[in-house]
A and B are shown apart, each in its own frame.
Chain A
Amino acid sequence: MVQFSKWQIFAVIGVLVLGIFYAMPNLFKEQTLETFPDWVASDQINLGLDLQGGSYLLLEVDLEAVEEEQLTNLVEGIRVNLRTDRIGYQNLRVEGKAATFTLRDASEEMVSRVRQMIFENNPGLLISTDGAKVISEYSDLVLRERRIAVINQSIEVLRKRLDETGTKEISLQRQGESRILIQVPGVKDPDEIKRLIGKTAKLTFHLVDQNADPYSGKAPVGSQIMLSQETQASGQPQRYVIKKRVMVSGENLIDAQSTFQDAQPVISFTFDTTGAQRFARVTQENVNRPFAIVLDGKVISAPVIRSPILTGNGIISGNFTPQSAEELAVLLRAGALPAPLDILEERTVGAGLGEDSVNAGKVASIIGLVLVLIFMGSSYGLFGIMANFALVANLILIVAVLSLFQATLTLPGIAGIVLTIGMAVDANVLIFERIREEIRNGRGPVMAVDAGYKRAIATILDSNITTLIAAVLLFQFGTGPIKGFAVTLTIGIITSMFTAIMFTRLLIVTWLRRRRPQSLGI
């Protein structure tokens, strides 16, 4: 234990130098770091949202809504197929998770022909029959694939909405079966984010049924009553009777920008070729009739078509503010979400509180450190000072590891570091106490140090490994703050074992060699 081979000394010093190298960037401002040469480490500690301010949102994708829509579409598809083939049926409807109907002609030949037909049009369907009743449902595999596709598509749309330019550090992750976690650092207006994700943004253009009375309470077949997005002066939303058929939809948009028309904020849009053609035809055939622009089931406005629009460019007017026009333009550019989203959890920390927390954490760490340094120094004298060097080295290593691996430091993580400061000296205390016992048993300085280390190491390993197990399990099974705490605790345990066992030993052994003291002074 008092022998150090050359390579061991080299390794200990090497680790410390690397520690300083990787911890150093945290002392500088980011701008200063950019001026350094490339080979210098430049990663700073990655602060959690609770420390730098930001929004954390957990969303749930309403997959049931998607599946319901799929089933409705399936029923409609089957209806069309049966009609084209002139096959008699009744009771075509959604029943639970399946589309069912009863054939008028239940002959074996007919049943197998119908099964063949449905399957060809909808691969991935499980079709079973019960007499004349045909039951079609999607297999679990297909449903799962669709769910994953819906989530991935949602994430893509959200990314476009929140970070169109791709320059912000927004993190979007899939969580579990149906959830999306959004983390946005440094948010000024968290409500804006919520507005951007809260809308499905399904845009459709419909003709207005001018013959029907919107206040009659019942719309004619093929039409439906829709409310306006904005309330009128009376406080009630305006009612429209809208033809259900979608003339053009937002899927065909290739661009949308907010702009001004007659000093009113509006959104100008451009269709792709298909959209432009459809739009041209509709506007040609319906001059002087109102054309409703519908977003998520609410009418934004229903301007009258003055003249045919052949260029595929148009304008959405409505009761917009410059901000809401800009937000809608972003939504339209990003496209519609495949499913509605619910916010399950939100945590927003203002930049001010984050900064306060960082400062408080720094002050607490430094004061805690100084208290421990003074205590150790006065308790163990020279040995205490050596332990103090190890403690400082330990802190540097923690910072270095956090920076190097870009682990996220959270507020509870800072608490973990402060706790580590207190606990890190434990290994040294154990060793010193053992050394003291050996001295009492009449050993000389070198032998006492040797035996002290030898006998303390098993204890240090046992006690730290048990704590390490707890920390790792916390990281594995814990969430949020628990994870942040577990990260620094884990790093702190490992680095403190290194500094206590290797670094202080090197210091003490070097001191023993150079000075050859008669007594250790503890």
Chain B
Amino acid sequence: MALIKKLPTDPNINFMGKRKLFMAFSVLMIALSLVLVATRGLNFGVDFRGGILIEIRTSEPADLSSLRSRIGSLGLGEISLQEFGAPTDVLINIQKQDGDEKEQMKAIQLVKDELGSAVEEYRRVEFVGPKVGAELKEDGALATLFALLGIAFYIWFRFEWQFSVAALMALTHDIITTIGFFALTQYEFNLATLAAVLTIAGYSINDTVVIFDRVRDELRRYKKMEVIDVLNMSINRTLSRTILTSVTTLLALIALFVFGGEVIRGLSLGLIWGVTIGTYSSVGLAVPLLFATNVRPSIPEEEEEGLVDENGQKIELVQENDKAS
């Protein structure tokens, strides 16, 4: 019993007809993301902004307001406290202290002295000095840039330049909107989140390449067909795969989001968002962009093997019949 048989075998949804709508939606999403990042900004974790993060477990449910006022009275500047996964767990964020690294160390000690016996366990103490914070930011940006360029280069090498451009633009869209998502939700943006953003790039490109591969194949086979129809057909023929893979990935990620623990909740949420937006962008953005860059059927370097060729003819006829009906 395979449920897959219940799916329509030959979907014929006119994705390309709605390309302007997709385009407008994507442009809007990018604009919104940029506005959000500019106005609300990202809630940078200690990794990037420098500063101190302390996660404590108290023996009894924590009284946040009393803890807040006690730590607030230490004069350490901006602090924030939040419950973290359980009523006894509290996450304390303390801003970067003026002065050098030694000042940060003193601040940690001050907090520990103040909290004293109220704390049962220090679950996490993270401190990133101003120097390292700036470096991590730079390294993260570089890693992203190199990953994108590496991907673009490979696609350019394996396909045509149009594919490379379209993929790169779709990827940039995914990354910007994911960052926008973090600006909207104000989930902490740290190194792990950045890793998530980069994985989204990896997932999304995987998705895009599968469709592009099909496009390249079909362009070779249906030289006489309108390019826009070939593109649409390619999306439709890979649609069941696109959906199935997204669903399995999302299932795994939802498990991670629900059961993976508080520390990686932001990361898994980012991944869920990214997989969704990445799937959309492969279909709704990458392929229309391919059309916009005026992709043409290339002359295949080698003729397809016998099987595929004679078969190609057959499918062409079927397709034309479909259109007529």
Contact = CB atoms under 8 A, between A and B. Distances in A.
Interface of A: 50, 58, 60, 190-191, 194, 342-350, 352-353, 356-357, 360-361, 363-365, 367-369, 371-372, 375-376, 378-384, 411-412, 414-416, 418-419, 421-423, 425-426, 429-430, 432-433, 436-437, 440-441, 451, 455, 458-459, 462-467, 469-474, 476-482, 484-486, 489, 521-522
A476 B139 CA distance: 10
Given A356-B261, A462-B209, A470-B150, A372 B251 contact: yes
Given A384-B2, A462-B213, 19 more contacts: A58-B132, A194-B105, A342-B102, A347-B125, A349-B123, A350-B122, A360-B261, A368-B255, A371-B251, A376-B248, A415-B271, A441-B315, A464-B206, A470-B198, A473-B143, A478-B195, A481-B192, A482-B192, A482-B195
A425 B245 contact: yes
Contact of B263 (A357, A421, A432): A357
Contacts of A349: 123-124
Interface in B190-234: 190-192, 194-196, 198-199, 201-203, 205-207, 209-210, 213-214
Contact of B214 (A190, A380, A459): A459
A333 B273 CA distance: 55
Interface in B83-139: 100-102, 105, 109, 112, 121-129, 131-132, 136, 139
B21 interface: no
Contacts of A440: 9-10
A368 B252 contact: yes
B147 interface: yes
A379 B210 CA distance: 20
Contact of A360 (B122, B139, B195, B259): B259
Interface stretch (B28-36, B71-79, B151-159, B283-291): B151-159
A342 to B, nearest CB: 5
A162 B314 CA distance: 75
By DSSP majority rule, is chain B's interface helix, strand, loop, or mixed?
Answer: helix
Given A368-B256, A372-B248, A418-B256, A482 B194 contact: yes
A187 to B, nearest CB: 11
A474 B263 contact: no
A425 B147 contact: no
B84 to A, nearest CB: 10
Contact of A471 (B109, B202, B210, B253): B202
25 contacts: A191-B109, A344-B128, A345-B127, A353-B123, A361-B261, A364-B258, A375-B251, A379-B3, A412-B195, A415-B271, A421-B252, A423-B245, A423-B248, A426-B206, A436-B4, A441-B311, A455-B308, A463-B205, A473-B147, A473-B150, A478-B195, A482-B191, A485-B198, A489-B199, A522-B4
B142 interface: yes
A522 B244 CA distance: 14
B146 interface: yes
B237 interface: yes
A348 B101 CA distance: 16
B260 A414 contact: yes
B234 to A, nearest CB: 12
Contacts of B155: 466
Interface of B: 1-5, 9-10, 47, 55, 57, 100-102, 105, 109, 112, 121-129, 131-132, 136, 139-140, 142-143, 146-147, 150-151, 154-155, 158, 190-192, 194-196, 198-199, 201-203, 205-207, 209-210, 213-214, 237-238, 240-241, 244-245, 247-256, 258-261, 263-264, 267-268, 271, 307-308, 311, 314-315
A352 B250 contact: no
B179 to A, nearest CB: 16
Contacts of B260: 360-361, 364, 414-415, 418
Contact of A485 (B2, B47, B195, B240): B195
Contacts of A375: 247-248, 251
B198 A482 contact: yes
Nearest to B314: A441
A506 B52 CA distance: 54
B194 to A, nearest CB: 6
Contacts of A369: 252
A353 B262 CA distance: 10
Contacts of B248: 372, 375-376, 422-423, 425-426, 429
B202 A470 contact: yes
Contacts of B258: 364, 367
Nearest to A348: B125
Contacts of A419: 199, 203, 249, 252-253, 256, 271
Contacts of B2: 378-384, 521-522
Nearest to A58: B132
Given A415-B267, A441-B314, A470-B198, A348 B124 contact: yes
Contact of A418 (B124, B240, B255): B255
Contact of A411 (B139, B192, B199): B192
B232 to A, nearest CB: 17
A381 B1 CA distance: 5
A412 B267 contact: yes
